[in-house]
Amino acid sequence: MNPTQKEKTFDESTLADRWLEIVLLHKNKLVALVSIILIVVGGGLFWMQKVKTDEKAASLELMKVAPYVASASSASPAENDAVLGNLQTIIKRWGHTPSGNQARLYLATLYCNSGKTGEALALYEAFKSGNKDLQASAIGGSAACRVQQKKYAEAAAGYEKASQTAENEALKAMYLNNAAESYRLDGQPAEAVKRFEQVVKSWPESSSAAVAQRTLWRLEGQGVPVPQL
């Protein structure tokens, strides 16, 4: 063995001894660190499985309620109370799941439609979704509550935000139309005209454009300046 090989063998042996010394010196800390990592990883896997299981349960319960939510306007008071109770239960048990979050949107809409704007606004504002159209629905719902409260300027701002948030073009047009109508109710016809014009220009083939155009003609008949499109 030449000197270089001896030196290399010595260095490797010394390095291995040094690492062993470090491990023995800090073994308690290393054991604790490994334990923490295992707990975090295990906890994460457990939570993922729990969310998956909870989402399945919440989804099944929401499917049972959804038809009643859609027909709430024609349901009896007893049926409506039952639906409200079921949605509240879904939120309480599985509010951390996508379906539990969807239940917030349903419940907020029912509250808004029944004039319980305070309860509705709290739920709409708590609703968060990566789906931009669903998020826009919550923002638009809040604006609808503001209309009921006769806070038309706030409603107009909310509907504009909903239009900007939505990805679906039909929804964008609808919310902007609602914003324009809110400005009209707030006594700001010039601002209303701007939004109605934008709807007609941006979505000319939509049903919202037809509504906007008719409103523009009506405003023009009332003496509001309306540029010719």
Which among 131, 78, 128 is positioned nearest to 108, based on CA atoms? Answer: 128
Hunting for tokens 């523009």 — which residue is that?
A: 216
Which comes out higher in pLDDT, residue 85 or 47? 85
Could you give the CA distance from residue 119 to residue 137 in angstroms, rounded to a whole number?
A: 16
Give the confidence band of 39 by pLDDT, cuts at 50, 70, 90: low
Distances (CA, A) of 209 to 45, 64, 147, 166, 175: 50, 36, 21, 17, 12
Contact yes or no for 165/143 (Cβ under 8 A) = no
Q: Of 24-28, 97-101, 179-183, where does mean pLDDT reach its minimum?
A: 24-28
The pLDDT-based confidence of 79 (bands split at 50, 70, 90) is confident
Give the whole-angstrom CA distance, residue 142 versus residue 121: 6
CA distance 181 to 64: 36
pTM, full prediction: 0.74
Lowest mean pLDDT among 25-29, 159-163, 165-169: 25-29
- Give the whole-angstrom CA distance, residue 3 versus residue 104: 77
The pLDDT of 199-209, averaged and rounded, is 96
pLDDT at residue 12 in the model: 52
Confirm if 102 and 65 have CB atoms less than 8 A apart: no
Report the pLDDT averaged over residues 136-164.
Answer: 97
Q: What is the mean pLDDT of residues 98-125?
A: 93
Residue labelled with tokens 């859609």: 70
From residue 183, give the alpha-carbon distance in Å to each of 146, 179, 190, 193, 198.
12, 6, 8, 9, 14
